[in-house]
Structure 1
């Protein structure tokens, strides 16, 4: 399948997806929304793909959200308030029931609607030149969907500060690490290589064990704690009899592990 706004490479169990609109700061429009809707359906059913890395073409930005010039709705599409789709339903892997781990590598500007991807990622890395911000209120717009989605990743006070200050303040790479928005900061030159390195380590593991673990944790986010703990057992009951039967523990060697 070919795409208009993204590049796709699949090798060694890793699907590397690259936002490819650098001339528009990799902002998403309707073509990109369509591309991601098709992409997630394809990757979900492709057993050769075990992990997804999402990155962006070089330049100033990972993504600055929706393209303010093009918009993301199709030309002539009705825009009555109660008929509007949310772009996250097209862009996000979890919204499209993809339980393969998603690693995001962020460089440069990362703003507004880019959080549709961040909010549904399993791991986020960034380069030390990355900055994160939400410009909605600066332009008189309510910021609601993206920050609400970020509640599973960032502390509430940090989200509110980002939302209310708008374009007046940006979150640095080091602050993003401190507040757990990202898990690692690297140099711009090593960003994509590091994301792939982690993806390959995950891709070596049994896909059912990995995907079951991913889904269990994401389902838990929507449940009260006691219910989530009780609910977690079913994932092991369903997945372990299948995955462990296909894993020879005697053949698993202790790796040269790293300390983070």
Structure 2
């Protein structure tokens, strides 16, 4: 399938999906939404894929919504503002849910600014690795909006109320190094080491027990809404499933035989 606003490359178990509107800092438009969802479905359906790497072409990861796009464009004094709630429900909510439920682990490789919905897109991924020169922004308040695309759900959980509100109310840039220090992302890497670090991490996850990694995501994402008893029940259910998987058999066999495991994702 040929794409206009993204690129997708799949090889050796790794799907590399890159936003490709570098002249617009990879900001979202309707075509990008459609193509992202199609690409994620392709990854979902391809049994050879064991991990997804999501990044951006050019000097930015994603600057959020393109305000010049027809679906959201608004000139004050010329007609009624668009229904942004409809855009969230029809565009961003399905995209976030599709990414958050993908059958393989996901890595956001943040190569530059990640702002607004672009920050959300990165933070929805299972792991976020950024260049030290990258930064995260929640600039919604600067145009009279609220953090959306799951930002107001993810950021407070990771940073706590005070830091999340500070970022949302001021719209200031959070450098990647501080984002890692605060626990918003996994790590910030020197620019010169970034590509090698992403390659190594993707290769590592591509050889691990895929189902167990995804079930770990499920457990982590539901933890905050569960009581202790409810979560122990979920853990039991997931452990029952994983304990009957081929990768568990292989993992135990490799441990007993003192060799490296050869996981297949089954």
TM-score range, shorter chain: 0.7 to 0.9
Gaps of 5+ in 2: 74-81, 262-266
Match of 2:200 in 1: 197
Q: How many residues align?
A: 249
Does the CA-based 8 Å contact 1:89-1:95 persist in structure 2?
Answer: no
Closer/same/farther in 2, CA of residues 177 and 83 from structure 1, 3 Å limit: closer
1:46: how far off? 1.2
1:232: how far off? 1.1
1:159: how far off? 1.1
1:21: how far off? 0.6
Does the CA-based 8 Å contact 2:130-2:188 persist in structure 1?
Answer: yes
Cα distance in 2 for partners of 1:82, 1:129 equals 33
Query: Residue 158 of structure 2: which of 148, 153, 161 is its match?
Result: 153
Does the CA-based 8 Å contact 2:6-2:17 persist in structure 1?
Answer: yes
Q: 2:121 aligns to what SS in structure 1?
A: helix
1:228: how far off? 1.6
Cα distance in 1 for partners of 2:158, 2:235 equals 20
Does the CA-based 8 Å contact 1:53-1:103 persist in structure 2?
Answer: yes
Q: 2:128 aligns to what SS in structure 1?
A: strand
Cα distance in 2 for partners of 1:222, 1:21 equals 37
Match of 1:100 in 2: 104
Which range is displaced more, 30-39 or 206-215? 206-215
Closer/same/farther in 2, CA of residues 134 and 208 from structure 1, 3 Å limit: closer
Cα distance in 1 for partners of 2:228, 2:141 equals 33
1:53-92 correspondence to structure 2 within 5 Å: 53-59=53-59, 61-70=60-69, 72=71, 83-84=86-87, 85-92=89-96
Q: TM-score with structure 2 length normalisation?
A: 0.83
Gaps of 5+ in 1: 256-260
1:107: how far off? 2.2
C-alpha RMSD of the superposition: 2.6
Structure 1 ranges of 4+ moved more than 6 A: none
Closer/same/farther in 2, CA of residues 89 and 106 from structure 1, 3 Å limit: same
1:145-224 correspondence to structure 2 within 5 Å: 145-166=150-171, 169-224=172-227
Closer/same/farther in 2, CA of residues 124 and 4 from structure 1, 3 Å limit: same
